[in-house]
């Protein structure tokens, strides 16, 4: 890496940390459902507020929260999930940021989802609990290409398939791991599902995510396939706390 490049990276990192200090974490992405809206002072709004309060309270200790508030057309369902290695205090901060931010981004939507590095928050007027979210996906990838894409893609798939199995069978629905790529390089991976999925559903969701790797991150040094029920990530550097 050239020194100019390096300085620029440090500069960006510093700037990102600066922004983070002022504004809290920056969301990776969000989706507002827009198919049904509520109005100000609607019963749905107060139920949603209560639901978000419950999720804020419930999620940090375990890393996952789930709930529903209200009845009939005013009922709202929600989940919050923190990345498996995130400490309770950071989880709390993330879910809190997520609740505030999603309210600004999707003010009148009955359903919405927002993702951060450390957490995801989702709610809807439809009961989605225990069902795989096949609709809400997005990708992130490193711009750098690897020198031997065929073998690299194969190794990535191998690692993530193993982690998909590991995550599905654990109670925290989370697994991280690594794989030797050569003498001096390693591949690091992560797989995680929301806890409302069963073992089979989690595995199916993660397999779907792995199936999207060619569209997401073919031959790229790092990538993430992120959904409403599960996500995978790989990098050639460690990216989770031990």
Ligand X SMILES: *[C@@H]1O[C@H](CO)[C@@H](O)[C@H](O)[C@H]1NC(C)=O
Contact 199, 192 (CB under 8 A): no
Stretch 31-60: interaction string toward ligand X, x if CB under 6 A: ---xxxx-----------------------
Q: How far is the CB of 125 from ligand X (least distance, A)?
A: 12
Q: How far is the CB of 20 from ligand X (least distance, A)?
A: 26
Q: How far is the CB of 100 from ligand X (least distance, A)?
A: 18
**Interacting span for ligand X (CB under 6 A) from 5-13, 97-105, 140-148, 152-160:** 140-148
Binder of ligand X out of 1, 22, 89, 143 (CB under 6 A): 143
Does residue number 215 form part of the binding site for ligand X (CB under 6 A)?
no
Does residue number 144 form part of the binding site for ligand X (CB under 6 A)?
yes
131 vs 145, beta carbon nearer ligand X: 145
Contact 117, 97 (CB under 8 A): no
**Interacting span for ligand X (CB under 6 A) from 30-38, 48-56, 71-79, 194-202:** 30-38
Extended beta strands in the chain, E state:
29-32, 64-69, 76-82, 112-115, 119-124, 137-141, 174-180, 186-193, 223-227, 230-235
Angle of helix 149-169 versus helix 199-211 axis, rounded to 10: 170
144 vs 241, beta carbon nearer ligand X: 144
Binder of ligand X out of 145, 198, 215, 241 (CB under 6 A): 145
Does residue number 235 form part of the binding site for ligand X (CB under 6 A)?
no
Would you call 109 helix, strand, or coil by DSSP?
A: strand
The separation between the first and the last C-alpha atoms of the chain, rounded to the nearest angstrom, is 27
Handedness of CA 101, 106, 108, 110 (dihedral sign): negative
Alpha carbon 200 to chain centroid, angstroms? 20
Q: How far is the CB of 143 from ligand X (least distance, A)?
A: 5
92 vs 110, beta carbon nearer ligand X: 110
Q: How far is the CB of 230 from ligand X (least distance, A)?
A: 27
Q: How far is the CB of 101 from ligand X (least distance, A)?
A: 16
29 vs 108, beta carbon nearer ligand X: 108
43 vs 199, beta carbon nearer ligand X: 43
Token look-up 């995978």 returns 232
- 37-72 burial: b if 16+ Cβ within 10 Å, else e: ebeeeeebbebbeebbebbbeebbeebbbbbebbee
Instruction: Name the residue among 63, 66, 64, 71 with its Cα closest to residue 54.
Output: 66
Q: How far is the CB of 191 from ligand X (least distance, A)?
A: 26
Euclidean distance between CA atoms 201 and 207, whole angstroms: 10
Given the rule CB under 6 A, which residues bind ligand X?
Answer: 34-37, 108, 143-145
């Amino acid at each position: 890496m050239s020194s100019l490049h390096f300085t620029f990276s440090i500069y960006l990192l510093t700037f990102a940390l600066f922004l983070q200090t002022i504004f809290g974490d920056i969301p990776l992405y969000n989706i507002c459902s827009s198919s049904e809206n509520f109005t100000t002072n609607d019963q749905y709004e107060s139920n949603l507020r209560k639901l978000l309060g419950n999720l804020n309270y419930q999620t940090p200790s375990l890393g996952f929260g789930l709930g529903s508030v209200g009845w009939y057309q005013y009922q709202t369902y929600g989940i919050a999930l923190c990345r498996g290695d995130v400490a309770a205090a950071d989880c709390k901060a993330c879910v809190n940021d997520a609740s505030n931010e999603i309210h600004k981004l999707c003010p009148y939507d009955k359903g919405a989802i927002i993702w951060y590095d450390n957490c995801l928050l989702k709610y809807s007027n439809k009961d989605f609990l225990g069902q795989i979210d096949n609709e809400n996906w997005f990708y992130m990838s490193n711009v750098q290409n690897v020198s031997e894409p065929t073998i690299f893609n194969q190794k990535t798939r191998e690692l993530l398939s193993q982690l998909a199995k590991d995550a599905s069978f654990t109670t925290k629905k989370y697994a991280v791991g690594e794989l030797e790529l050569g003498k001096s390089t390693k591949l690091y991976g992560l797989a995680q599902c929301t806890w409302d999925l069963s073992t089979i559903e989690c595995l199916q969701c993660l397999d779907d995510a792995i199936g999207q790797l060619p569209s997401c991150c073919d031959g790229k040094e790092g990538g993430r396939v992120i959904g409403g029920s599960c996500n995978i990530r790989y990098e050639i550097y460690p990216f989770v706390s031990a």
